[in-house]
Structure formats: C-alpha cells, structure tokens
Amino acid sequence: MKKLITSAAAAAMMAFALPTHAETATTTPTATANDPYVAYLFTYFTGNHGDEEAVRYAISEDGYNYKALNGNRPVIDSKKISVTGGVRDPHLLRGEDGAFYMVLTDMVSDRGWDSNRGLILLRSTDLINWTHSAIHFPDRYKGQHDLKRVWAPQTIYDPEAGKYLVYFSLQYANEPDIIHYAYANADFTDLEGEPYPMFIPHDKKSCIDGDIVPFKGKYHLFYKTEGHGNGIKVATTESLTSGKWVESPDYKQLTKDAVEGAGTFKLIGQDRFILMYDVYMNKRYEFTETTDLETFYPASQEVTMDFHPRHGTVIPIRASELARLREAYPEK
C-alpha cells in the first residue's frame, strides 16, 4: 500500500498551490443546545477532466440554496493525496469521536472508466487539515490482477463491530460491479482484512454508488443499478455485514433520465430527509424529500446552486465550523 499522510502541522508548512458525505441522526453525535447545527456543508467534485476531479465545498443555511466556497476551486490538491492524480465521489462523515472521515475514488476518468484500482482515506478534526492514505488494491492485496475498478467508497460506523466500515463497488474481469466492504483501522490510514461482498442483488447484476442511511432500526442502502436501468433502488437490513437484505423493486428517482450518486441527509430539526442524485446526462442535480425513506416527493422548495456538482454528500455543521470554513475558503 502506498501511504501518503499529511498532518495539520505539515499541511501548514507545505506550499500547496490550493488551500488545503450523508450524516444521519442515528449515526452522528447530536448537536447540543449550546452548539447546534446551523448550516449544511456540501462536498462534491465537478466533472471528468483535469482539476474538475477534485474535492470542493459549498454551504447552505437552509439545505436548499448552496453557495460554493473558495470560488468553486478545489480545497484539497488531488495530486498530493492520490495515486492517479484525480479524485471523485467524495463522501464525508462526522464520526462518533467528533472527527471527520472522508473517502474518495482515486481516479482520472480521462484514462477510461476501468482505469482506477484504489480509494483514498482522509481524517480531519477541523474540515481543513487532513491526514490521508491512498489504498492501491494491487499493492495492498494479493490476487488483484483482474480487478478493473474501485468506485464510490463511503464510510459508516458499525456499532456491532465498534469500527468504521468502508464500502465500495468492485468489478473483476467481466463480472458485475458488486458492493464490498472492509473495516478501517483505528487511525483511518488502512483497511483491515480482505474486501468482502456486502450486497449482491437478487438479479446478480451490477450495483454501484451505495449510500447507507440508518433509520428506525434498519439500514437503508440506496444504490444505482449500473448498466441496466441506471436508476436508484433501495435494500434494507438489520445488520450491515449479515448479507441479509430485503430489496425494494421500484426505482426511487423522480425522473425518467439516467441518474447516479445517491446522497441522503436529514434536514436540521425536521423529520424530513433529502434524497439527492446526479442527473448526469442532463447536467443537473435533483432533490427529493421523504419522511420514511420509502416514498419520495419533489423538493418542497426551489433548489439553487451557483455551481454544477457531481456525486457528493451533505452534512450539517455547527456555527463554529461554518465560520471556520468561510474564513479559510471565502465564497468568492
């Protein structure tokens, strides 16, 4: 495994050319009355070429209207943290310990959709300075000669194991993309053990872009049916690694256009969730709403953005975090 680690102190000394995904109510420390959630942080990338494949930030104070930070420029230098030089599909989680955990696809898509073989783990206490490790699967694991791609990792805390579980889709040879998992080590710099299949749909066809939401005693996995429908379906389980999933047959997106990159977050102080997804052929992002993670409706408010995001995640943030981000990465 090639490991790239930058401490906050080291990051301050490095001459970066640039300034150096869905929280749910059941997996993240609750904001206190003295330090409530007041806004939302959207972490995303913007496209398939050059520095479009890099992490960017935007903020919203209502969950519907977003303004890009840092002039919509990257907030992390992809070349300094990746093997390929590009990153996609940022997922950001506020951990049980109050730290932030980000995972990324390590990929330059101009080299082809089957060109990447790894992912990136990052950890921060302030959303600005990050430690990071690139996990290149052919170096980390044996028998990876027919691995074609590693896509769209995400992280969730597994209370049964007391560890952070990283899940992602893998494709080998001409087999379908299947969502696998591995636990992260204690300092979030490596994966423990071999990747193991997490979810295999009944039809045995490809599934990618998994997004897991704990809700009312179950885990709801939103996923894309890659190459056969190109829509979002849901499966549920009571245990993340049990392999026992109940699949919902219907698609959840409210458009006939192809979609990907499901991301789910809960509105602050409300019982409503937003399911958002990338309508990637039409270059637009769509928000829908739900209270039960089963039935979805159009967003109750107009959604505005002064940027065009690709697959990303949204988490709520506190006033101190909002102020720190605005100071580090002004909107213009």
Cα–Cα distance, 15 to 12 (Å, whole number) = 8
Does the residue 283 lie in any domain? no
Q: How far does the chain reach from its first CA to its final CA, in angstroms?
A: 38
Q: Structure tokens of 191? A: 């994966």
* 187 belongs to a structural domain: yes
In a domain, 301, yes or no: no
In a domain, 280, yes or no: no
pLDDT in tens, 196-221: 999 999 999 999 999 999 999 999 99
pLDDT digits (tens, 9 = 90+) for 176-195: 999 999 999 999 999 999 99
Give me the number of domains the chain comprises: 1
User: Residue 32 pLDDT > 70, yes or no?
Assistant: no
Q: What is the pLDDT of residues 255-265, one digit of tens each?
A: 999 999 999 99
Indicate if the pLDDT at residue 4 is higher than 80.
no
Which structural domain range is residue 98 located in? 8-247+308-328
We report the CATH number of the domain holding residue 70 as 2.115.10.20
Beta-carbon-side half-sphere exposure of residue 282 (alpha carbons within 13 Å): 11
The alpha carbon dihedral of 126, 4, 44, 267 has a sign of negative
In whole angstroms, give the CA distance from residue 197 to residue 178. Answer: 7
Provide, for the chain, the percentages of residues in helix, strand and coil under a 3-state DSSP scheme, each rounded to the nearest 5. Answer: 10, 45, 45
Q: Is residue 267 part of a domain?
A: no
Exposure string over 2-18, b if 16+ CB within 10 A, otherwise e: eeeebeeeebeeeeeeb
In a domain, 269, yes or no: no
Q: Which residues are CB-contacts of 165 (< 8 A; sequence separation ≥ 6)? A: 155, 156, 157, 158, 181, 182, 183, 184, 240, 241
Is 131 contained in some domain? Answer: yes
Cβ(105)–Cβ(44) below 8 Å:
no
pTM: 0.90
**Residue of 246, 206, 209, 245 lying closest to 229 (CA atoms):** 206
Mean pLDDT score of the chain? 91
Return the structure tokens found at 129: 């300075």
Quote the CA–CA distance of 225 and 268 in Å, as a whole number. Answer: 30
In a domain, 184, yes or no: yes
